[in-house]
Structure 1
């Protein structure tokens, strides 16, 4: 399995560019923005099983053989020691999650959180745990831990009711979305952009069920800065929250305003050439008002493409990426750093397939979004993607 990245690269979290020759000019935009999907470089020379990403860093989790975590990006000086956390100290870990402030590692017998701002040689927080087994309930993945979860800011440990039977958890900028073992979805935190999916803009201090999804078991949840998404057992994709950059895949006024103005100016020039008035009133029956969505306060079903089932989904701050059961990657939302993978810096409020992987005869099997970038795991098309 190979990993590719594209988008924000100011700290070398995707690839480290060679230093320019003395006296030669450097393309700053080329260093900051990786527009075309690029195979990941740097860090350990081991097979990467999973990627975790924050705004300025990437954590590569290696689970084959002697498991460990390698960091790339801000503060990652050398492969053996980055941001105060050495590869040796991570050896034996089974899962990891990273934020701008902390790297949390899950070992079979303990959880450790390391302060990425300091150089201490001991974790800033830790807890002992008992070995998990399937008979005791669903196996937990970070940020979930026994009895609660690890937050992105102190206090790091937050408790959760055992009645929720938590299966997976995604943390946004200021809200959370939880998937239960029953397939039910709960959200809490800031709700000012409709990101909780309860139909309003109010916040919730405690996990509250998303009633619009009740009775439809979900298999995957993800959250961006101020939007949320989930995938049903049948492969349907539901979206809600802020759509300012088209991150929900719904019509966004901000993205379509400039193209409409340009088309209007072009139409006006054509009308003047034909001695017509561009301000003529439309004939009866021709009036059409396009509906734009800034905030979607309750879940909406999004058709990515006809007869398309979604396998998994991930969210950046203001963009979204989904992998289909046929191994295609679709992206939409804010794209000014190239994080959509379409080899442009254009944003889009319509899901579009990343053609690079199809052209290279690669099958996408997983996707992980950083805040302003995207990472995709691929295999050759000859390998079954089902």
Structure 2
């Protein structure tokens, strides 16, 4: 299995930045072409297999498997060729270097706290957004709590919740996976359908976004005004907007249609973009794309799911996807291997 990354690369999370290259045409901050992730360890040949990836705003952590010995490696600008190795003599591996935390050991003044949940909430997985949390229970129900100002809790309002509350609109429809973006939420049903809710300012829900549709309408109206000066482009723009339904906040789950129809096997959310993998091995992305995190080899945003053609053209079968805040990482295998899974 190989991993590719694209999007925000200011800290070298995707590929190492060559400081000797001074060409203005080379943008090492924005990686718009899917680039294969390389293993940087102190050895002439790297045979480690990356099985999992986790990404944040400035870092990327990879779990590598070399035989039966796992290892965790972290990529950032100052550790371009460095690696955090593990104590392989212990069955439970522990990173053998000091984590760069603030004095006292935590990034916040208060230490982590333990809060018991209701006994009937048997958690299968947990997803954390910027200010909200989603829990997928063993029964397939979705619970949410935290800030609700952008409708990210899915309770048909913009109120916050201090305790886990069931997303009633999805009750009775078992879900298999859940993901949280900065202020939006996504889940996959057992049948492979996508349900979305929360903030849609950048089209991250895959629903019509005013800020993304307005610019093309303005450009087309300006061109029409140049061809026919007597026509008021401003009035035409207003008339076109009347016939379009825009969604800035979706406060309850909505079924998202992907064209052509397909079943979804995995989904992940960045701050303001979303990526999903189909059972057939296609990768679809949508939302904010100004760092190239949508993988379409442009810096444009999109408010509807679009297939990443790079992997199709290279005859690669996408099996998993992980979104960082402003970047995306996709795991792929050869097409024949994907068909056999």
- What is the TM-score of this pair, normalised by structure 2? 0.89
Q: Which residue of 1 aligns with 2:76?
A: 73
List gaps (5 residues or longer) in structure 2: none
State the Cα distance separating 1:229 from its structure 2 match: 0.2
What are the superposed Cα offsets for residues 23-58 of structure 1, whole Å, 9 maximum, x if unpaired? xx3438611000000001243431100100010000
Q: Which residue of 2 aligns with 1:159?
A: 115
What are the superposed Cα offsets for residues 273-310 of structure 1, whole Å, 9 maximum, x if unpaired? xxx5347989xx99952110000000000011233100
State the Cα distance separating 1:364 from its structure 2 match: 0.1
Could you tell me how far apart the structure 2 residues matched to 1:367 and 1:280 are?
42
Residue 233, structure 1, aligned to residue 190, structure 2: yes
> What SS does the corresponding residue of 2:224 show, helix, strand or coil?
helix
Q: Which residue of 2 aligns with 1:103?
A: none
Could you tell me how far apart the structure 1 residues matched to 2:109 and 2:193 are?
32
CA RMSD of aligned residues (A): 2.9
State the Cα distance separating 1:87 from its structure 2 match: 1.1
Q: Which has the higher contact order (CA 8 A, sep 6+)?
A: 2
State the Cα distance separating 1:346 from its structure 2 match: 0.3
Q: Which residue of 1 aligns with 2:64?
A: 62
For 1:252, which of 209, 232, 250 is the aligned residue? 209
Residue 9, structure 1, aligned to residue 9, structure 2: yes
List gaps (5 residues or longer) in structure 1: 81-85, 94-106, 126-150
For 2:255, which of 273, 281, 301 is the aligned residue? 301
Distance 1:228 1:111, change over 3 A: farther
Q: Which residue of 1 aligns with 2:275?
A: 321
What are the superposed Cα offsets for residues 332-362 of structure 1, whole Å, 9 maximum, x if unpaired? 0000000000000000101100000000000
Q: Which residue of 2 aligns with 1:99?
A: none
Q: Which residue of 2 aligns with 1:37?
A: 34
> What SS does the corresponding residue of 1:367 show, helix, strand or coil?
strand
State the Cα distance separating 1:77 from its structure 2 match: 5.2
Distance 1:3 1:119, change over 3 A: farther
Q: How many residues align?
A: 331
State the Cα distance separating 1:264 from its structure 2 match: 0.7
> What SS does the corresponding residue of 2:79 show, helix, strand or coil?
coil
What are the superposed Cα offsets for residues 223-251 of structure 1, whole Å, 9 maximum, x if unpaired? 00000000000000000000000000000
Q: Is contact 2:200–2:207 with CA below 8 Å preserved after alignment? A: yes
State the Cα distance separating 1:209 from its structure 2 match: 0.4
Distance 1:91 1:119, change over 3 A: farther
Distance 1:252 1:115, change over 3 A: same
